[in-house]
């Protein structure tokens, strides 16, 4: 018995299947990560032509049957193709990195409408953002929280006080902060300047619907991206390296 399922979805990636079809990996709002087959997509007159590119936000209809592991895509309509992001090499690598992380950290068929909506808001904000790297750090902070590893960057783990000196330490292992006095003996520490820490705190608690308005001074973006990816890798026991970011020139 087959049923028709409808959902909003982001196209993550695709592989060619046989001569004219594609197997598409989608991050859908209702059904999480799913793989579907789009038949005849390479034919000139295919109704899917141009719609199933990575990063496209589409409304899909799937013919689903429980006996099949791969469902059949029957309709797709583009909601947003993020044309403001695509030609911009300061934005596109970060947008693709978001897709890369979704692909690597979210389990198949695990749906979360709130997280999906969050990503859509973030991608929309990225269209006009002057600081896409900061947006990406914001995404990483929210992703690790979503996965259950929200870092504590408020007080020192030992003395429960806000670090008062210019430097504090973040423990990748404990996911928490150590002030300079209490850091001795702690392992896997990364140094953070107090100014940067204030900014990270503000970012962590900033409402995502207003993220486009977030104003930032100089934050060593790559340092914090590396820190958060290492933190993510340690706690999820993965070995994620973000290939998309190597496109940044």
Partner 1 sequence: MQLLGIDALDRLIDELSRLPGIGRKTAQRLAIFVLKSESQYAENLAEAIYNLKKETQLCDKCFNIAEGSLCSICLDTHRDPSKICVVEDIVDIFAIEASNEYKGLYHVLGGVISPLAGVMAENLHLNELIDRVKNENIAEVLMALNPSTEGEATMIYISKLLSGLNLKVTRIASGVPIGSHLEYVDTVTIGRAISSRREL
Binding site for partner 1 (CB under 8 A): 12-13, 15, 18-19, 44-45, 47, 49-51, 53-56, 78, 81, 83, 86-87, 89, 92-93, 96-97, 99-100, 103, 242-244, 246-247, 249
CB nearer to partner 1: pick between 47 and 188: 47
CB nearer to partner 1: pick between 25 and 171: 25
Let me know: does 215 contact 168? Beta carbons within 8 Å: no
Burial of 106-145, coded b for 16+ CB within 10 Å and e otherwise, reads beeeebeeebbebbbbbbbbbbebebbbbbbbbbbbbbbe
The distance of closest approach from Cβ of residue 46 to partner 1 in the complex, given in angstroms and rounded to an integer, is 9
Dihedral of CA 203/208/214/219: which sign? positive
Segment holding 17, helix H or strand E: strand 2-17
The distance of closest approach from Cβ of residue 113 to partner 1 in the complex, given in angstroms and rounded to an integer, is 23
CB nearer to partner 1: pick between 81 and 111: 81
CB nearer to partner 1: pick between 12 and 156: 12
Sheet architecture: strand order including 189-193: 176-179, 167-171, 189-193
The distance of closest approach from Cβ of residue 75 to partner 1 in the complex, given in angstroms and rounded to an integer, is 12
Q: What are φ and ψ of residue 191, in 5° steps?
A: -75, 140
The distance of closest approach from Cβ of residue 18 to partner 1 in the complex, given in angstroms and rounded to an integer, is 8
CB nearer to partner 1: pick between 50 and 220: 50
The distance of closest approach from Cβ of residue 199 to partner 1 in the complex, given in angstroms and rounded to an integer, is 27
At a CB cut-off of 8 Å and minimum separation 6, what does 52 contact? Answer: 11, 14, 22, 24, 38, 41, 58, 73, 76
Query: ∠ CA(82), CA(200), CA(216), 5° rounding?
Result: 60
The distance of closest approach from Cβ of residue 182 to partner 1 in the complex, given in angstroms and rounded to an integer, is 40
CB nearer to partner 1: pick between 77 and 112: 77
Do the bridges between strand 176-179 and strand 167-171 make them parallel or antiparallel, or are there none, so unpaired?
Answer: antiparallel
CB nearer to partner 1: pick between 29 and 91: 91
Let me know: does 55 contact 96? Beta carbons within 8 Å: yes
The distance of closest approach from Cβ of residue 112 to partner 1 in the complex, given in angstroms and rounded to an integer, is 21
């Amino acid at each position: 018995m087959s049923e028709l399922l409808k959902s909003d979805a982001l196209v993550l990636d695709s592989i060619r299947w046989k001569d004219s079809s594609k197997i598409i990996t989608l991050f859908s709002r209702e059904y999480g990560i799913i793989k579907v087959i789009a038949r005849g997509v390479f034919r000139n007159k295919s109704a899917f032509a141009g719609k199933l590119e990575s990063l496209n936000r589409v409304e899909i209809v799937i013919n689903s049957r429980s006996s099949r592991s791969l469902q059949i895509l029957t309709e797709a309509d583009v909601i947003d193709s993020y044309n403001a992001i695509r030609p911009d090499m300061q934005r596109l690598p970060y947008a693709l990195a978001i897709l890369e992380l979704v692909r690597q950290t979210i389990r198949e068929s695990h749906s979360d409408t709130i997280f999906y909506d969050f990503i859509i808001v973030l991608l929309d904000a990225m269209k006009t953002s002057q600081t896409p790297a900061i947006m990406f750090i914001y995404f990483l902070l929210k992703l690790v929280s979503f996965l259950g590893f929200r870092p504590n960057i408020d007080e020192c783990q030992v003395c429960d006080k806000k670090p008062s000196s210019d430097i504090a330490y973040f423990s990748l292992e404990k996911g928490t902060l150590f002030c300079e006095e209490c850091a001795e003996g702690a392992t896997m520490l990364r140094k953070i300047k107090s100014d940067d820490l204030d900014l990270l705190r503000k970012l962590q608690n900033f409402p995502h619907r207003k993220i486009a308005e977030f104003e930032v001074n100089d934050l060593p973006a790559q340092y914090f991206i590396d820190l958060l990816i290492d933190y993510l890798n340690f706690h999820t026991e993965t070995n994620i390296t973000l290939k998309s970011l190597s496109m940044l020139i």
